[in-house]
Structures are given as C-alpha cells and as structure tokens.
Amino acid sequence: QLQLQESGPGLVKPSETLSLTCSVSGGSISSTAYYWGWIRQPPGKGLEWIGSIFYSGRTYYSPSLKSRVTISVDTSRNQFSLNLDSVTAADTAVYYCARRRASALDCWGQGTLVTVSS
Amino acid sequence: QSALTQPASVSGSPGQSITISCTGTSSDVGAFDFVSWYQQRPGTAPKLMIYEVSNRPSGISNRFSGSKSDNTASLTISGLQAQDEADYYCSSYTGSNNHLFGGGTKLTVL
C-alpha cells in the first residue's frame, strides 16, 4: 500500500527558505503513470496547489508561487522535495505531499504544519 | 488565478440528498473534463471522492456522484449519513499541468 510522509522543520524564520521532503513507500516514484505534488492549507482556510514533478525532473508550478518555489526529485531515495524561498507569515500552513494520477490526487501524506515566525 | 467558487456551507438531514456546486471559467472547469472532489474531515488529509467529473475511485460509495455543465461542476451526496459531515473541495485542471482548488464547502448533517 502506497504511503507518503512529509518531513522537515516545523518552524521557519521570516525571509528564510522552507524545505520539506516527502518520502514515498510501497511504490516507486519512478513510475511513468504518476506525478508527485505539493499542496498547502493555511490554518482554517482552503487548499492551495503549489506544484508537481515527474520522476524525470520535469516540474510544474502554480503561477502565484512560481517565483519562489523549487520542487526536486531523488529517485534513488524515492523522495521528492519542496523549497519555498523568502517566506512570510502568509506561508504558515499545513503542507501536504500527494501522488497525482492524471488530474486527481489519489494518495496524500498526513501533512505537516510549518509555522513562519521569528 | 482565483479559486473556484463553492458555497461556504450546505446542510441536510440524514437520508436526504445535497448538491455542492463548483463554478469556474471557460479556462478551467469549462475547458477540461478534469474536475475532482475531495472530502476532508477535521485534522485529516483530504480524500479523493470523485475524479474526471464523475468517476469514483475504488472503495468510494455510490452515494457520491459528480457531474458538470458548462463552467459549473457539482457533487451530489444521496442518502446523507452522519459520517458524511466534512469539508468538501473541488479541483480543476487549468492547463500546463496546473490545478486550481475551490474555496471549500462545509457540509453539516443535521
């Protein structure tokens, strides 16, 4: 059974870089059938699409975050990662990683809360 | 890109049917048959309920159904049960491998 698990610091200072990793188990991140994505949810608010990556390294980013986001993949470790630069309090959110099959996110990690504060 | 438009809340009694709408534009919902719906219970990750407008993943009850007309997609839940109480989000493909979510709808089972 496929499982995704987010990891990374729960607290990031303003203007610094938020870095998270998603570890995939029970399946290969190198499958040609899937993309791998990041989604976030500010406390008490709705979901926001951040971007996705294919195992080859091809990336696709939300236009609203494109200037600050980098998503990368490490097929040897079956992981993919998110970097978000120059964070502010508005970037405080639960960050989810998920598997994308065609247009739908069919398997999600449990999410990790990242707070931006000094 | 603005979020897709969903009602903030809907409610219904056990056994009834409810419908949640998701309105976009001719560039997203109206352009592609790639609308999906997610259920999110408090403190948990979203769960895929409907994909490609009207398809149910394995294990999802047939009480959940989806449809689309022009720029508006809809999720219908029939035979409401207490366990259906949750937030529901729609999502649409917008082209160039990007996606857009709706603002979410809180379903209350009375």
Cβ of residue B31 closer than 8 Å to a chain A Cβ: no
pLDDT at residue number A89: 97
Residue B6 backbone zone (phi > 0: left; psi -120 to 50: alpha; other: beta): beta
pLDDT at residue number A102: 83
pLDDT at B1 > cutoff 80 = no
Question: Is B51 within 8 Å of A46 when comparing Cβ atoms?
Answer: no
What gap in Å lies between CA A37 and CA B76, rounded to an integer? 27
Question: Is B45 within 8 Å of A96 when comparing Cβ atoms?
Answer: yes
Are B104 and B87 spatial neighbours (Cβ–Cβ below 8 Å)?
yes
Cβ of residue A103 closer than 8 Å to a chain B Cβ: yes
| Shortest Cα–Cα distance, A77 to chain B (Å) | 24
What gap in Å lies between CA B57 and CA A34, rounded to an integer? 16
pLDDT digits (tens, 9 = 90+) for A60-101: 999 999 999 999 999 999 999 999 999 999 999 999 999 999
pLDDT at residue number A117: 97
pLDDT at B97 > cutoff 90 = no
Q: Which of B49, B89, B99 to mutate to test the interface with A (most CBs of A within 10 A)?
A: B99
Which tokens in the block code for residue A63? 């236009």
Cβ of residue B66 closer than 8 Å to a chain A Cβ: no
Return all residues near B11 (Cβ < 8 A) that are at least 6 apart. B18, B107, B108, B109, B110
Positions of E strands within B17-101: 18-23, 35-40, 47-50, 64-69, 72-77, 86-95, 98-101
pLDDT at B26 > cutoff 80 = yes
pLDDT digits (tens, 9 = 90+) for B29-80: 999 999 999 999 999 999 999 999 999 999 999 999 999 999 999 999 999 9
Are A71 and A82 spatial neighbours (Cβ–Cβ below 8 Å)?
yes
Closest partner residue to B52 (CB to CB) among A47, A60, A102 is A102
Closest partner residue to B48 (CB to CB) among A35, A39, A104 is A104
Position A58, amino acid:
R
What gap in Å lies between CA A6 and CA A95, rounded to an integer? 8
Cβ of residue B9 closer than 8 Å to a chain A Cβ: no
User: What are the C-alpha distances in Å from B93 to residues A95, A115, B4, B52, B100?
Assistant: 20, 29, 11, 10, 7
Which residue in the block uniquely carries the two structure tokens 């975050």? A65
